[in-house]
Chain A
Amino acid sequence: MITIKFIQPDGSEKLVSAMNGRSLMEAAQGAGVVGIVAECGGSAACATCHVVLPQEVFDRLGAPEEHEEDMLDFADAPRQTCSRLSCQVRVTPDMDGIIVRVPTA
């Protein structure tokens, strides 16, 4: 199991076990992380699954696709350097122990 710590918009923490190969959004939503609404169920169409990754994880993943880039500009919480749509991020074993922030609108 891969464990990821989410910091919710109010600052509280939630430890989430994530499955290899599923999306970060699915892991967060399954655990009821506050702020991951994920209205479009992972279609990269709603921008309600916005997270901020640690810099080194963000760098490792490579650039988001053009559509996600566009969508991130319209998320409720202002976009940050390491912002991603969590539905577009696959969980991998090297993510065990990372801290992911759900930004505040």
Chain B
Amino acid sequence: MKQLVELMVNNESYELAVEPQTTLLEVLRNDLGLTGTKEACGTGECGSCTVLIDGRPMLSCLTLALDCSQRDIVTIEGLAEGERMSPVQQAFQDCGAIQCGFCTPGMILSATALLEETPRPTEEQIKKALEGNLCRCTGYNKIIEAVKKASGQIAPDQIIPDKIISEQEQESQ
């Protein structure tokens, strides 16, 4: 039997009738059309469904929508201000930390939560905070670089864009 739940997602309030077994992930994607949150494993291993609940990164695939009433939910769609990306989003783009992009929403939300709590994390702290977000493309180095950049620990001119690297490689060949 469906039950009513009031959800606060990206500062907007929604009232929905959901089946008890519906996960927050299903509501976000199927009912609210917020498809930035991804599902891969569905069992807690990959982190692609990460959202912020009361500021903390949590797995929407293992969270019931009914357990989210009166909690503040932020998805990847809630980070940018209008056309302007959040510093973490911008850093991911600048550093080439995105390839297929499937892991990216979860990565960015985990990184955002980390920087909120630890504005200048060490590399170890970055790795620990992102250990639950798997990426099959980037090899992680650029993601770590992006988090360092977003925390102001790498100056923008220290980052060599991919284009220049490939030009350099061509020259050396």
Q: Real complex partners, A and B?
A: no
Residues on A facing B (Cβ under 8 Å): none
